[in-house]
Amino acid sequence: MPDPRFKILTSASTSGPGDAGRTGSWRVERPIIDYSKCTPAKTGRHTCHLCWLYCPDSTVSKDLEPQIDLEYCKGCSICAEECPTGAISMVSEEEFTGGDKDE
Amino acid sequence: MNNSFIESGNVAAALAVKLASAEVIAAYPITPQTPVTEKLSEMITLGEMDAEYIAVESEHSALGVCIGAASAGARSFTATSSNGLLYMSEQLHWAAGARLPMVMCVVNRGVGAPWSVWNDHQDAISQRDAGWIQVFAKDHQEIVDMTIKAFRLAELVHIPVMVNYDGYYLSHTYMPFELPKAEDVKAFLPDYEYKHTLNPERPESLNTVTLPDARVDINGVKRPGYMEVRKNLHDEMRLAMVVWEEIDADYHKSFGRGGNPICDPYCCDDAEFILVAMGSLANQFHDVVDQLREEGYKVGVLALQMYRPFPTSHIAKILQPAKSVLVFEKGLSYGNQGALYADLKSALYPYPARPTLHNFITGLGGREIRTENLYQSVKDTCLNEETLKPEHIDTPQWIGLQL
Amino acid sequence: MSSIAKTNVINLTEEEFVHPGNRACTGCGLSILYRIGMKALGRDCIFVVPPSCLTVLQGLYPISATQMPVLNCTFASTAAVATGVRAAMKRRGKKTQVVAWAGDGGTADIGIQALSGALERNEDIIYICYDNEAYMNTGVQRSGTTPRRGLTTTTPYSGKKENSKNVPEIVAAHNPAYIATCSASYPLDFHDKLLKAKEISGLKYIHIQTPCPPGWGIEEHKTVAIGRMAVESGLFDLYEIENGKKQLTGQSSKQLKKKSLRPVGDYINLQTRYNAYDEEHVIALQAMIDRKWEKYRKEFSQE
């Protein structure tokens, strides 16, 4: 039991998102999903979900219509590369300036 | 059951660790500490002690095991000497900065190069800036008592404690000592608890990269930067002196021994010349003091038990009234002076009327320290006006050179 | 015959154990394997992490990206610190998994002494080496696992002169309870090997090839693809060793039936770290792979 007179400052971190801030600001391009090509969206059944599997930052949801968390998506484009039906395309962030994009 | 023993200092240490119910022992052989690990291994194997015994592959890993175990909620212990202590140097700094409660016995031995297996204090002295509390035992009884008290100190203040005792002079010689009863030590030492015990139910990430500046956490609360963490270690090391005295008072009540936990004076009250030393050398000086007193010299010896944190005001209070202070040490800060000497000088600096200070280096690499040599060098200093000249003060004098 | 319960994308748990918005590079291979690996390990874990990319991914004080307790340690001591944590768990009667996550440097170079000691003592921990084949966290310097002729900042122009260490073989010489090789591009294979490792007592060593876009000189979106090429070409193999018996798993096992594998040139030519490779070097590497797989076809043909 530590003595209560001692503060014992040490480096002990608690967990939460955004240690690097809004990593969505790292993006140069953002993934856009064409649900007409996306297999789970098209079939209404949970299948494929490779974009969800391979996302390094867990910013793709496992919904039938997968959603991208733009707050943290770094724009690596692995989802677009791995999508077997080519449902994901990468679009320049400039197209969205003035919308969601932070500086 | 008889609690009086005549055993070696190493065995005394091992028995104290058993009484303290250390749970995780990391063991690696190095002369002259090895018998500690052997005795602990024997007791655990025979079922006399209930602990995990991990025969690690290096001293760096020995302290690594202790760091892991202490962080995860177990009372840990290891011992080492000399180059083993140096090898784990980065881990020393780590354990201190992580505010881990642990105890390590260091059986003091000279450091290479060249190789020496014999006693001096350079190993501990070279690590004085690591942030560990350092105490020095003078005899086997103190090895036992300090080791037990060290566990309590470490766990109360969350700073690791190094219990030093002289290689061979204490580790391998046989002296009588008392062991407190196991159940009494259990009452004296509450269960181990670390403030940030690794626990999946309360997950934390310990000792991550900490920025220069203070930064806001996940709840928006500003947390310390690196400098605040380190300042806190320093401040609480200073405060630990008070706790050490409180523990000693409680130990005195429970076991009948103690009273001078920070420094132990002998004939210092009216002394004009005070000798200062750490470890068994301080006890050796008693004969010198007795002899010189018979000859009419007002000499005393002050044994320093707590070296880090450095007990500035305790020391200054005792030394300041003296005419001369003679600091004898078994190590030095190369290129300058004895480390203890420099610390003492700094402690006395604020006093306008302060004693002259003299630095003596002795016993390096186990060079025999003959009582008659000590006696002669003290007497020479007391009598000789030469030694008070500025060009002689502040230059370490070497006792016992042979060539 | 191994009986790993097969996890697929559909039945893989949706629960996440690492937070987004962390400092890992865009397209980081470690991020993928770490995220999926944790789904196998679950919350009752304590991680031990030396200086490495994972330290940065963890986060800077006071924010941590990992939802499990993490003990950061000095570079050389990962396996020793994990040993200590495990000893404490034993004392407290806890079944909490102790998992060490170290990079190739922290395993094969500076960390090898502690790892060897822990192996010899057969400590009951899971030791994961994520091998991105260089000291990536400090800016791409050569390590013991950097491949021959690989370009790094300390092996510029003509690349590394020496061969890489075969760490799983070094580990195998210690006869641990379980060894497995994995790839960040086959995260489900990694996931299931972890599930298996959790049930085994003793030291479980997992070596996982981890593509690194900045370090390997590939585009960020190629991370998974490049790792697949390493396995499909037979350069990097997915296998397990249990009770001294080695067997290929997953994609590597499937490839045993094939007469020829994907040309290793596909893999080499996509990475600028292999710019010191001439045609002759690719041919030599291909020949080495071909010889290895000839042996595999004979060795594993009875399975």
What was the pLDDT predicted at C106? 97
| Residue B14 falls inside a structural domain | yes
Stretch B263-267: mean pLDDT:
97
Structural domain for C236, as ranges = 29-299
| Residue A60 falls inside a structural domain | yes
pLDDT at residue B384 greater than cutoff 80: no
CB contact under 8 A, B206 and A12: yes
| Residue C93 falls inside a structural domain | yes
pLDDT digits (tens, 9 = 90+) for A5-25: 999 999 999 999 999 999 999
User: Which member of B97, B158, B208 has the closest CB to residue A6?
Assistant: B158
Q: How far apart are alpha carbons C25 and A76 in whole angstroms?
A: 9
Number of other residues whose CB lies within 10 A of the CB of residue B174: 13
Sheet holding B397-399, edge to edge: B263-266, B299-304, B273-277, B324-329, B356-362, B397-399
Is A31 at the interface with chain C, CB within 8 A?
Answer: no
Stretch C90-105: mean pLDDT:
97
Determine the 3-state secondary structure of B245 from DSSP: helix
Tell me how many domains chain C contains. Answer: 1
What was the pLDDT predicted at B393? 73
The mean pLDDT value of chain C amounts to 96
Chain C 1-30, residues with CB within 8 Å of chain A CB atoms: 9-10, 12, 14, 16, 18-24, 26-29
| Residue C235 falls inside a structural domain | yes
Residues B77, B82, B87, B90: is their CA dihedral positive or negative?
positive
What are C272's two structure tokens? 């600028």
Residues B8 and B140 in one domain: yes
Q: Give contacts of C29 with chain A, Cβ < 8 Å.
A: 56
The pTM of this model reads 0.96
Which residues in C181-198 are b (16+ Cβ under 10 Å) and which e? Answer: bbbbbbbbbbbbbbbbbb
Q: Which of B385-389, C29-33, C165-169 has the lowest mean pLDDT?
A: B385-389
Q: Give contacts of B216 with chain C, Cβ < 8 Å.
A: 62
| Residue A75 falls inside a structural domain | yes
Using CB atoms, list chains with 3+ pairs below 8 Å to chain B: A, C
Strand B356-362, strand B397-399: pairing: parallel
Is A53 at the interface with chain C, CB within 8 A?
Answer: yes
What was the pLDDT predicted at B388? 66
Q: Give contacts of A10 with chain B, Cβ < 8 Å.
A: 97-99, 195-196, 206-207, 229
Distance from CA of C56 to the nearest CA of A (A): 10
Stretch B302-324: mean pLDDT:
96
Residues B42 and B174 in one domain: yes
Phi, psi of C177 (to 5 degrees): -65, -35
Burial classification of residue B228, based on how many CB atoms lie within 10 Å of its CB (0-12 exposed, 13-18 middle, 19 or more buried): middle
* Pairs of residues, one from chain A and one from chain C, whose beta carbons lie less than 8 Å apart: 115
| Residue A10 falls inside a structural domain | no
Distance from CA of C192 to the nearest CA of A (A): 14
Q: How far apart are alpha carbons C82 and C89 in whole angstroms?
A: 11
Phi, psi of C161 (to 5 degrees): -80, -25
pLDDT at residue B1 greater than cutoff 60: no
| Residue A88 falls inside a structural domain | yes
User: Which member of B66, B76, B210 has the closest CB to residue C61?
Assistant: B210
Residues B183 and B319 in one domain: no
The DSSP line for A25-64 is: GG-SEEEEE-TTT-HHHHHSS----HHHHH-TT--B--SS
CB contact under 8 A, B71 and C62: no
Is A70 at the interface with chain C, CB within 8 A?
Answer: no
Contact B10, B33 (CB under 8 A): yes
Angle at C289 between CA C287 and CA C292, to 5 degrees: 110
The DSSP line for B11-70 is: HHHHHHHHHTT--EEEE---TTTHHHHHHHHHHHHTTSS--EEEE-SSHHHHHHHHHHHH
pLDDT at residue A100 greater than cutoff 60: no
Is B326 at the interface with chain C, CB within 8 A?
Answer: no
Please give the C-alpha separations between residue B260 and each of B241, B246, B266, C38, in angstroms, as whole numbers. Answer: 12, 11, 11, 54
Residues of B at the A interface, defined by Cβ within 8 angstroms: 97-99, 155-158, 190, 193, 195-196, 203-208, 210, 217-219, 224, 228-229, 232-233, 236, 239, 243
Determine the 3-state secondary structure of B324 from DSSP: strand
Q: Give contacts of C58 with chain B, Cβ < 8 Å.
A: 205, 208
Chain centroid to Cα B353, Å, comes to 30
Nearest CA in chain B to A1: B193
Is A36 at the interface with chain B, CB within 8 A?
Answer: no
Contact B130, B156 (CB under 8 A): no
Nearest CA in chain C to B77: C84
pLDDT digits (tens, 9 = 90+) for B152-177: 999 999 999 999 999 999 999 999 99
| Residue B231 falls inside a structural domain | no
CB contact under 8 A, B68 and C91: no
pLDDT at residue C173 greater than cutoff 60: yes
| Residue B222 falls inside a structural domain | no
Determine the 3-state secondary structure of A8 from DSSP: coil
Q: How far apart are alpha carbons B189 and B203 in whole angstroms?
A: 27
pLDDT at residue C61 greater than cutoff 90: yes
Stretch C241-254: mean pLDDT:
94
| Residue C169 falls inside a structural domain | yes
Residues B295 and B378 in one domain: yes
Residue C5: pLDDT band with limits 50, 70, 90: low
CB contact under 8 A, B94 and C73: yes
pLDDT digits (tens, 9 = 90+) for B44-56: 999 999 999 999 9
Residues B277 and B174 in one domain: no
Nearest CA in chain C to A11: C61
Tell me how many domains chain B contains. Answer: 2
Nearest C-alpha neighbor of C224 from the set A81, B334, B152: A81
Q: Give contacts of C79 with chain B, Cβ < 8 Å.
A: 61
| Residue A59 falls inside a structural domain | yes
ipTM of the prediction greater than 0.90, yes or no: yes
Mutate to test the interface with B, among A1, A5, A13, A15 (most CBs of B within 10 A): A13
What was the pLDDT predicted at B314? 96
pLDDT at residue C177 greater than cutoff 80: yes
| Residue A74 falls inside a structural domain | yes
| Residue A36 falls inside a structural domain | yes
| Residue C2 falls inside a structural domain | no
Distance from CA of C252 to the nearest CA of B (A): 36
Chain centroid to Cα B134, Å, comes to 3
Please give the C-alpha separations between residue B182 and each of B49, B156, B207, in angstroms, as whole numbers. Answer: 11, 20, 35
Q: How far apart are alpha carbons C130 and B94 in whole angstroms?
A: 24
- How much of chain B, in percent, has pLDDT values that exceed 90? 92
Distance from CA of B295 to the nearest CA of C (A): 57
pLDDT digits (tens, 9 = 90+) for C123-146: 999 999 999 999 999 999 999 999
Burial classification of residue C270, based on how many CB atoms lie within 10 Å of its CB (0-12 exposed, 13-18 middle, 19 or more buried): middle
pLDDT digits (tens, 9 = 90+) for A15-69: 999 999 999 999 999 999 999 999 999 999 999 999 999 999 999 999 999 999 9
Structural domain for A78, as ranges = 31-96
Strand C63-64, strand C70-72: pairing: unpaired
Distance from CA of C21 to the nearest CA of B (A): 13
Residue ending a domain, choose from B188, B204, B220 = B188
Which residues in C93-113 are b (16+ Cβ under 10 Å) and which e? Answer: ebebbbbbbbbbbbbbbbbbb
Instruction: Please indicate whether residue A88 or residue B399 has the higher confidence score (pLDDT).
Output: A88
CB contact under 8 A, B217 and A11: no
CB contact under 8 A, A10 and B97: yes
The DSSP line for C197-247 is: HHTS-S-EEEEEE---HHHHT--GGGHHHHHHHHHHTTSS--EEEETTEEE
CATH number of the domain that residue A90 is part of: 3.30.70.20
Using CB atoms, list chains with 3+ pairs below 8 Å to chain A: B, C
pLDDT at residue C27 greater than cutoff 80: yes
Residues B145 and B271 in one domain: no
Tell me how many domains chain A contains. Answer: 1
pLDDT at residue C11 greater than cutoff 60: yes
Is A12 at the interface with chain C, CB within 8 A?
Answer: yes
pLDDT at residue C230 greater than cutoff 70: yes
Q: Give contacts of C100 with chain B, Cβ < 8 Å.
A: none
Q: Give contacts of A62 with chain C, Cβ < 8 Å.
A: 14
What are B304's two structure tokens? 């320093």
| Residue B108 falls inside a structural domain | yes
pLDDT at residue A99 greater than cutoff 80: no
Nearest CA in chain A to C68: A15
pLDDT digits (tens, 9 = 90+) for B112-152: 999 999 999 999 999 999 999 999 999 999 999 999 999 99
Q: Give contacts of A57 with chain C, Cβ < 8 Å.
A: 20-22, 24, 31
| Residue C17 falls inside a structural domain | no
Using CB atoms, list chains with 3+ pairs below 8 Å to chain C: A, B
Q: Give contacts of B71 with chain C, Cβ < 8 Å.
A: 71, 84-85, 88
Phi, psi of B79 (to 5 degrees): -140, 155
| Residue C44 falls inside a structural domain | yes
Number of other residues whose CB lies within 10 A of the CB of residue B39: 21
What was the pLDDT predicted at C301? 72
Q: What letter does residue B366 receive in the DSSP assignment?
A: G
CATH number of the domain that residue B302 is part of: 3.40.50.920
Provide the β-strand partners of residue C130: C103, C208
Q: How far apart are alpha carbons C205 and C173 in whole angstroms?
A: 12
Nearest CA in chain C to A79: C221
Stretch C113-124: mean pLDDT:
98
CATH number of the domain that residue B76 is part of: 3.40.50.970
CATH number of the domain that residue C292 is part of: 3.40.50.970
| Residue C9 falls inside a structural domain | no
| Residue B213 falls inside a structural domain | no
Nearest CA in chain C to A64: C10
Determine the 3-state secondary structure of B254 from DSSP: helix
Q: Give contacts of C97 with chain B, Cβ < 8 Å.
A: none
Mutate to test the interface with C, among A77, A78, A91 (most CBs of C within 10 A): A78
Structural domain for B98, as ranges = 4-188
pLDDT at residue C1 greater than cutoff 50: no
User: Which member of B158, B206, B229 has the closest CB to residue A2?
Assistant: B158
Is A5 at the interface with chain B, CB within 8 A?
Answer: yes
pLDDT at residue A101 greater than cutoff 70: no
- How much of chain B, in percent, has pLDDT values that exceed 70? 98
Mutate to test the interface with A, among B233, B236, B237, B245 (most CBs of A within 10 A): B236
Stretch C187-208: mean pLDDT:
97
Nearest C-alpha neighbor of C62 from the set A13, B100, B243, B93: A13
Stretch A82-89: mean pLDDT:
98
Q: Give contacts of C26 with chain A, Cβ < 8 Å.
A: 26, 74-76
| Residue A2 falls inside a structural domain | no
CB contact under 8 A, C22 and A20: yes
pLDDT digits (tens, 9 = 90+) for B214-245: 999 999 999 999 999 999 999 999 999 999 99
What are B35's two structure tokens? 């018998």
Residues B344, B345, B349, B354: is their CA dihedral positive or negative?
positive
Determine the 3-state secondary structure of C295 from DSSP: helix
Stretch C13-42: mean pLDDT:
97
Residues A81, A83, A87, A93: is their CA dihedral positive or negative?
negative
